[in-house]
């Protein structure tokens, strides 16, 4: 049995999750203290992949990154073609996973006690230091939950990946694509194997998150007490 879909899925999900972590937290910080019609429109655009069908997201990405699309033409000037390549799987997974990271990071940052942030500023800490040493440690459990959700969403991405990257064995065939085409060709045993692999990875993620959260709760309480004192 060819195991390339597993490695492609893991590599794609890890890279996509790393990108969504940086982009999602940055977008959440940008959004935190802003309001108005323009911000609401930007918020809606950032959350669109969460409500649109994945095939629609994939079609829009294909329009952008295809050979006749604006970003596709720009890439071709540098001799690069995105569609039907492994980076296309990363782009598709990143776009569909980003809203989950953005929402959880935003919610986590909103739950941070503003009095602790103001106390750090009063003591002379810069905004970057307040963010790095106070806001992020307190919001990290929520951010971690967003990471797990984003990874799981990237791992299970199907529609946008099929539209933008296609199903090329050994290059763009992820686990969901392998399951779909195994069923299409009547290889039910292969489909069951890949379903089992996907379920095992998801279970390990959820179990790890649960254990980490339980272990971190006392540490977080000690951290708050120490800094409050």
**Is residue 180 scored above 50 in pLDDT?**
yes
The CA distance from 90 to 173, in Å, is 12
For residue 223, what pLDDT band results from cuts at 50, 70 and 90?
A: very low
- Per-residue pLDDT, averaged over 141-158, amounts to 90
Going from the C-alpha of 25 to that of each of 1, 89, 96, 147, 192, the distances in angstroms are 39, 22, 16, 11, 36
For residue 207, what pLDDT band results from cuts at 50, 70 and 90?
A: confident
For residue 144, what pLDDT band results from cuts at 50, 70 and 90?
A: confident
> Residues 167-178: pLDDT tens digits?
999 999 999 999
Closest C-alpha among 214, 206, 217, 194 to residue 1: 194
- Per-residue pLDDT, averaged over 107-127, amounts to 83
Token digits of residue 200: 């095992």
- Per-residue pLDDT, averaged over 143-165, amounts to 91
To the nearest whole percent, how much of the chain has pLDDT over 90?
49
Higher pLDDT, 146 or 39: 146
Q: What is the structure's pLDDT at 1?
A: 64
What mean pLDDT is reported for the chain? 86
Judge contact between 141 and 223, C-beta under 8 A.
no
| DSSP symbols for 162-228 | HHHT---TTTT--HHHHHHHHHHTT-HHHHHHHHHHHHHHHHHHHHHHHHHHHHHHHHHHHHHHHHH
Domains belonging to the chain, first-starting first, are: 4-228 (1.10.3720.10)
């Amino acid at each position: 049995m060819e195991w390339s879909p597993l490695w492609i899925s893991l590599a794609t999900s890890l890279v996509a999750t790393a990108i969504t972590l940086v982009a999602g937290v940055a977008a959440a910080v940008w959004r935190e203290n802003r309001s108005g019609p323009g911000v609401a429109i930007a918020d809606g655009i950032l959350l669109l992949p969460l409500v649109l069908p994945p095939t629609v997201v994939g079609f829009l990405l294909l329009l952008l990154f295809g050979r006749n699309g604006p970003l596709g033409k720009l890439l071709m000037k540098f001799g690069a073609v995105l569609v039907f390549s492994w980076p296309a799987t990363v782009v598709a997974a990143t776009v569909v996973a980003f809203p989950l990271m953005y929402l959880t990071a935003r919610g986590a940052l909103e739950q941070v006690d503003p009095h602790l942030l103001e106390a750090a500023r009063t003591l002379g800490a810069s905004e970057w230091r307040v963010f790095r040493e106070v806001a992020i440690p307190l919001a990290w459990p929520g951010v971690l939950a967003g990471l797990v959700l984003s990874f799981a969403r990237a791992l299970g991405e199907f529609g946008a990946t099929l539209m933008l990257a296609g199903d090329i064995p050994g290059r763009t065939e992820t686990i969901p694509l392998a399951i779909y085409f195994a069923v299409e060709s009547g290889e039910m045993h292969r489909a069951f194997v890949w379903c089992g692999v996907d379920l095992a990875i998801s279970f390990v993620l959820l179990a790890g998150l649960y254990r980490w959260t339980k272990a971190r709760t006392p540490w977080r309480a000690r951290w708050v007490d120490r800094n409050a004192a």
